[in-house]
Amino acid sequence: MSVAAAPLRGFTIDRSDGQRPLPGSLHGNRRLDRWLSLAEPGVMLVRTGKVELGQGILTALQLIVAEELDLPLSAVRLLPATTAAGPDEGVTSGSLSVQDSGGALRHACAELRGLALERAGGSQPLRVEAGRVLAPDGRVLGDYWSLLSDADLDREYEGRWAPKVAAERRLMGRARPERLDLADKVFGTARYVHDLRPPGLLHGRVLRAPTLLARLASALPALPEPLHCWADGNFVAVMGESERKVEAAAERVRATLQWQPGPPLPDQATLPDFLRSAESQATVTAERGQPGLPATDWATPPPGGTRHTATYFKPYLAHASIGPSCALALWQQGRLTVWTHSQSIHNLRDDLLLALQPLHPALRKQDIEIHHVEGAGCYGHNGADDVACDAALMALRAEGRPVRVLWSRADELAHGPLGPAHRVELQAQVDEEGHITHWQHETWANGYSSRPGRAKVPALLAASQREGGAPLPLAINPPLGSGGGAERNAVPGYTFAQHRIVTHRLLQMPLRTSAMRALGAFANVFAIESFIDEIALARGEDALALRRRHLQHDARALAVLDTAIERSTWWNAPEQPAEEGESRGRGLAWARYKNTGAWCAVLARVQVGESVRVLDLDLAVDVGMVVDRDGVINQIEGGALQAMSWTLKEQVTFDAEGVTGASWEHYRILRFSELPRSVVHVIDRPEEPPLGAGEAAQGPVAGALANAVAAALGIRVRALPLSPANILAAMEAA
């Protein structure tokens, strides 16, 4: 049998495990029956390890399967992820789902199709229409379900048949499928984990310590049956039959609790200094040099040219899901079942095992089953995993009855992991011809990942709060090969003769930090793209020309910039006069996400008076092969607006004893009245590998807005958010 006739195109999973490399997540989930099932005639049942977060992944995967198998979209059914069946694809994060899960399914489906054609007979050129295999004369030779059965899928992927090439595709990049999940959402059909109401349901609430190290310093009040209230170390729970009564009881208990504060949190007013002075671990993330140039010595600038330096800052950000984190758990006869909106059900299972083994030493991994059920958008690692642990701990006290735990709004904003505060110091040396010859990028931040399933102790909040619980592991940064954390996009997309990237990861974690959409790329691209504009301004040069000069190696970067500019209806038009007391400005920025993902360029137009009002956001994106075009636009547009909210409005506030203002009144996010005009241009490259769209826009949006504000004011604001207070501070410092 000839193997691997299909080239393995364009996938970036690390395959250094000695196994024959396979495309996408097939590499770790090599059997076809892990992905596909023919058990229901006429319906292609598809399992994926990636989960729907509102990003539309199920719709994109449905389209990929329908494309490869020549099935109508309605004949493809995506099954929700569960640890009980289907592939383990790790975490749904990093804009990798179309690459990894989509890549696996494209190839698995190509193989299934090939097997069916082979079974249908011989060497004649058969074709598939609507799932039926047709002879050259149009005779129906059967369909997938009559020609094959699940027994035929009980095999490893071999790669005997290549997926369709661009010219053979009829759906990808063209079809505009309805979102699979949307109908339930617009008709109010129960779909979210919050909506599950199994019989016998109990409700639980947790009363959280104000900081990670605060300790419970008071006794608990007694509650009338059937309400229960208990403390396990610093984990305080209330549980009962009626959600209303549990909620009311939790508020009564909360009012009586006293906490002994842990070490004081740093002073928010001097947070950028704290990041610089706190104990940290420095890593040289990347270095690039060129023979003949002086060694990079940043203390003494090389002769000739001009030195530029600037420091930028991003505060802690909250994921700020609209629906508070929620989970259900059932403990029955030594087995635990959890329903969760976690992004990583397998990792969560590993950490739940660690968290619960002190209570049930006999518990084994296979005794825990985790089902994904949609929640509200999470935008990274929010409280989803933590609340699953809360529910599991409560379920252990209610054998045979499911327990539903819901976080409060304040919990969601204060006790979920936060996007880290992040300081960037940039230095550049520019020669007399305007070439940037030296570039140094240093970051100071906590790690960007506290996700479960990666440390020796559980990364689940309640596990750390239980009696004897180990402190939460310090947040880490994923390796640069996986995109990095704080250092994500710290390596410039520009060609400079020398660059040096240093990452200082904090070794203390006053506020818990973890992955938030785009990770370090948001702060780093904000800093880099601001700095490029600052250098251009100092040189009296057009910032786009400076960018182009250092981008000659990257035609796709130039293409997104050109597309955004050429297709903009306002970028090249003269500016309308602003209203009195206000000024207008334009700015642009771009980045290639993770330096390996999608390219995105952003043009922004703002009006600045008492605050910043965004008038226009134009985006151009290159995600390689487009699968679901409308899905790409939705992700880019949504990512851009969320990033606009982070850039202009958001910061987590705190005092010595914890997060303050954990309500929507204080943690303000974008409102409809602040909506700019926005447009997204998608460059389709059907022959290129597909790249994720969910995190491409965030960094460039911050850079473009910062540059537009600087253009409007004539003053550079280097601290986010671009709020009236930070603008005023920049004016006073200027």
Q: Which residues bind another protein (CB under 8 A)?
A: 53-56, 176, 178-179, 181-192, 194-195, 197, 242-244, 320-324, 374-377, 379, 406, 408-409, 630-631, 634, 637-642, 645, 663-665, 669-673, 675, 678
On whether the CB atoms of residues 462 and 387 are closer than 8 A, the answer is no
Q: Which is nearer to another protein, 53 or 209 (CB)?
A: 53
Q: Which CB, 630 or 688, lies closer to another protein?
A: 630
> What is the 3-class SS of 573-611, one letter each residue?
CCCCCCCCCCEEEEEEEEEEHHHCCCEEEEEEEEEECCC
Least distance to another protein from the beta carbon of 105, Å?
21
- For CA atoms 13, 18, 21, 24, give the dihedral sign: negative
Are 220 and 227 within 8 A, CB to CB? no
Tell how strand 403-406 and strand 326-332 pair up.
antiparallel
Q: Which of 182, 184, 164, 183 is nearest to 174 (CA)?
A: 164
Beta carbon nearer to another protein, 674 or 688 = 674
Minimum Å gap between C-beta 628 and another protein is 9
Q: Closest separation between CB of residue 618 and another protein, Å? A: 13
CB of 688 to another protein, least distance (A): 24
Closer residue to another protein (CB): 179 or 438: 179
Between residues 59 and 503, which has the closer beta carbon with respect to another protein?
59
Nearest Cα residue to 563 out of 603, 605, 615: 603
Closest-CA residue to 617 (of 640, 643, 592, 636)? 640
Q: Tokens for 324, please give them.
A: 């508070």
Cβ of residue 590: shortest distance to another protein, in angstroms?
A: 19
Q: How far is the CB of 323 from another protein (least distance, A)?
A: 4
Q: Which is nearer to another protein, 54 or 484 (CB)?
A: 54
Q: Is the peptide bond before 574 cis (omega within 30 degrees of 0)?
A: no
DSSP string, 243-302: HHHHHHHHHHHHHH--EE--SPPPPGGGHHHHHHHS-EEEEEEEEE--TTSPP--SSSPP
Q: Residues 104, 108, 113, CA angle at the centre, nearest 5°?
A: 150
Q: Which is nearer to another protein, 184 or 688 (CB)?
A: 184
**Hey, is 480 helix, strand or coil?**
helix
Alpha carbon distances (Å) from 265 to 213, 312, 355, 506? 10, 22, 27, 14
Q: Are 431 and 301 in contact, with CB atoms under 8 Å apart?
A: no
Name the residue with tokens 């007694």. 222
Q: How many CB atoms lie within 10 A of CB 6?
A: 18
What stretch of H or E contains 528? Answer: helix 521-539
Dist. CA 619–CA 637, nearest whole Å? 8
Q: How far is the CB of 324 from another protein (least distance, A)?
A: 7
Considering the complex, what minimum distance in angstroms separates the CB of residue 669 from another protein? 6
Q: Which is nearer to another protein, 237 or 413 (CB)?
A: 413
What's the burial of 215, exposed, middle or buried (CB within 10 Å: 0-12/13-18/19+)?
A: middle
Shortest Å, Cβ 198 to another protein: 13
User: C-beta of 60: minimal distance to another protein in Å?
Assistant: 12
CB of 244 to another protein, least distance (A): 5
CB closer to another protein, 170 vs 244? 244
Q: How far is the CB of 695 from another protein (least distance, A)?
A: 13
Q: Which is nearer to another protein, 381 or 499 (CB)?
A: 381
Alpha helices of 50-175 — where are they, by DSSP H? 57-69, 97, 103-120, 144-147
In the complex with another protein, the residue whose CB is nearer, 290 or 673, is: 673
State which residue, 670 or 730, has the beta carbon closest to another protein.
670
